[in-house]
Amino acid sequence: MRRYVAAIDQGTTSSRCIVFDRRGRVVGVAQREHEQLFPRPGWVEHDAETIWRNTESVIGEVLERNGLGADDIAAVGVTNQRETTVVWERATGKPIHHAIVWQDTRTDRLVTELGGEAGPTRYQDRTGLPLSTYFAGPKLRWILDHVPGAQERAEAGELCFGTIDSWVLRNLTGRHITDVTNASRTMLMDLRTLQWDSEICAEFRIPEAMLPEIRSSSEVYREITSGPLRGVPVAGILGDQQAATFGQACLIPGEAKNTYGTGNFMLLNTGTTPVFSKHGLLTTVCYRLGDQPAVYALEGSIAVTGSLVQWFRDNLGIIDSAEEIEELASSVADNGGAYIVPAFSGLFAPRWRPDARGVIAGLTRFVNKAHLARAVLESTAFQTLEVVDAMRADAESQRLDLELTTLKVDGGMTGNDLLMQFQSDILDVPVVRPVVTETTALGAAYAAGLAVGYWSGTDDIRANWAADTTWQPSMSAEDREEHIAAWNKAVERTYNWVD
């Protein structure tokens, strides 16, 4: 039996390749960042060809650095930034436009048009999603509208659409496929049948010929056709947040995790029937193993958390690295009355306000950069509280068996002790971080390893999960309420900015 499983994690800011052993521990990592392109306010693009080159190079690097080859790797799993949209020529594999990234808001008018008289919930009962600039379908419509000749070429079968998983799979294996979790973020898939919804595709004027085949999250798709992993089967695909949920062993209804990366994403496993939120959460496919029934999740997506730290670093230049924010924030006792609401792409869950834009509220002559550093970190915790409250409200109104006794966390920002303590304080629940924090890649590795028998079942995943650090709440109820009231006032000041 081959010794390891590899995962490709193609994220919003970087591409990684991580090799895992049977205990789910990291054997080796290689990572490469790519450029974020901001051609206009509200627009965010990636160069898909650069992303593929980076992916190829991190695969090579991790193998070389650890003295590994195709013979050591039992299977490869792929996980990816979700919703980011690529259109390429079927014959050449050349993209016809930059990838439009999930944070991009250029489709704001288009989504209002698509909602028509029914409004933003027009497709919610079929897709689990409100109409929003966030999802792939409207981004694809935009490309077909704005690249000369694209609609005709798509109708003639000359173009392929894919989210980043499909783009990576095309380049690894030549196949044009996606998995149910990624397909569930397009607004074009029926959540119950797990097939493209012909009616929605027609209403979006999207030719079905350009869509990938929808497959399970864990099955052997095809062997890699070239490069150092030639011959190794690709056997798992999961959107990054679903992968992290799987990697965190949230395998039964009621189990949830929160990932702190570019944005924050909390997913709650709700079992094999989709639950539809009345409080601003999304319904999404969590994973599907082989031909077993799909497992669904409720999701609270927050657009801007870690990327606010990057903005603080790159756009304001107040710190030189993301880690530095903790020391600066720790140099003062509190936020000095300042609150930052990073509604850079409008507000996502649970408020869904495309008209919102960011504010810094509560400024006085007293406030300095250390207070702002605190406000940057605290905004992540407040936004998470809103999502947790929405999950509690849905659980109560729909009689789901969920009591949030601890919050499992992962992602880059969980290295920040000050933030994790404040998160626990604001939620008034313990926060726990596992030993392996690369849960996104780990989840994709599990999906692939399960498909080829490297792991024998999901019990192995549960057995591998181990807690590392736990933060206990210690804030008084009075302080908590004061903070939350001020935060809510600040959020109201973001509304009605974009007409």
Ligand X SMILES: Nc1ncnc2c1ncn2[C@@H]1O[C@H](COP(=O)(O)OP(=O)(O)OP(=O)(O)O)[C@@H](O)[C@H]1O
- Burial of residue 126 (CB within 10 Å: 0-12, 13-18, 19+) is middle
Find, among 12, 183, 162, 210, the residue nearest to 101 by Cα.
12
Q: Is 323 a binder of ligand X (CB under 6 A)? A: yes
Residues forming a β-bridge with 359: 341
Least distance (Å) between residue 414 CB and ligand X: 8
Contact between 24 and Mg ion by CB under 5 A: the answer reads: no
- C-beta contacts of 145-149 below 8 A and 24+ residues apart: 146/97, 147/87, 147/96, 147/97
Contacts of 249 (CB under 8 A, 6+ apart): 255, 458, 461, 462, 464, 465
Give the shortest CB-418-to-ligand X separation in angstroms.
Answer: 8
Sole binder of ligand X in the list 220, 318, 322, 435 (CB under 6 A) = 322
Candidates 11, 42, 236, 300; binder of Mg ion (CB under 5 A) is 11
Candidate residues 165, 240, 299, 386; the one interacting with ligand X per rule CB under 6 A: 240
In the 8-state DSSP scheme, what is residue 188? -
Of 68-76, 175-183, 306-314, 395-403, the segment contacting ligand X by CB under 6 A is: 306-314
Q: How far is the CB of 482 from ligand X (least distance, A)?
A: 24
**Token pair of 353, please?**
């306000």
The distance of closest approach from Cβ of residue 11 to Mg ion in the complex, given in angstroms and rounded to an integer, is 4
Question: Per-residue x/- mask for ligand X, residues 75 to 94, rule CB under 6 A?
Answer: ------x-------------
**284 beta partners:** 297
Does 309 help bind ligand X (rule: CB under 6 A)?
A: yes
Binds ligand X by CB under 6 A, chosen from 326, 386, 394, 425:
326
261 sits near ligand X (criterion: CB under 6 A): yes
Q: Are 420 and 471 in contact (CB under 8 A)?
A: yes
C-alpha to C-alpha distances, 95 to 20, 49, 61, 92, 213, nearest whole angstrom: 32, 8, 25, 9, 19
CA distances from 93 to 46, 52, 96, 167 (A): 16, 11, 9, 9
- CA 225-226-227 angle, 5° bins: 145
* Contact flag: residue 306 with Mg ion (CB under 5 A): no
Query: Read out DSSP for 104-148?
Result: --TTHHHHHHHHGGGGGGTTHHHHS----TTSHHHHHHHHHHHST
Residues 432-471: x where in contact with Mg ion by CB under 5 A, - otherwise, as a string? --------x-------------------------------
Contact range with Mg ion by CB under 5 A, out of 6-14, 266-274, 312-320, 474-482: 6-14
Q: Is residue 37 part of the contact set for ligand X (CB under 6 A)?
A: no
Could you tell me which residues are beta bridge partners of residue 100? 45, 85
Residue among 50 and 398 whose Cβ is closer to ligand X: 50
Interface positions, 246-265, toward Mg ion (CB under 5 A): 261
Asked whether position 42 contacts Mg ion by CB under 5 A, the answer is no
Write b or e for each residue in 336-372: b if 16 or more Cβ atoms lie within 10 A of its Cβ, otherwise e.
bebbbbbbbbbbbbbbbbbebbbbbbbeeeebeebbb
- 407-436 residues in contact with ligand X (CB under 6 A) are 411-413, 415-416
- Segment near Mg ion (CB under 5 A); pick from 5-13, 137-145, 266-274, 371-379: 5-13
The reply to whether 233 sits near Mg ion by the rule CB under 5 A is no
Q: Say which entry of ligand X, Mg ion, none residue 286 contacts (CB below 5 to 8 A, set by partner kind).
A: none
Stretch 430-489 residues interacting with ligand X (CB under 6 A): none
* Contact between 158 and 150 (Cβ < 8 Å): no
Q: Is 212 in the site for ligand X (CB under 6 A)?
A: no
* Residue 345 to residue 487: CA distance in whole angstroms: 18
Residue 301 binds to ligand X (criterion: CB under 6 A) = no
Least Å distance between CB 178 and ligand X? 18
Structure-block tokens of residue 36 = 């974020």
Q: In this complex, which beta carbon is closest to ligand X, that of residue 212 or of residue 306?
A: 306
Query: Under a CB-based contact definition with an 8 Å cutoff, are residues 384 and 274 in contact?
Result: no
Positions touching ligand X (CB under 6 A) are 11-14, 81, 240, 261-262, 306-307, 309-310, 322-323, 325-326, 411-413, 415-416
Positions touching Mg ion (CB under 5 A) are 11, 240, 261, 440
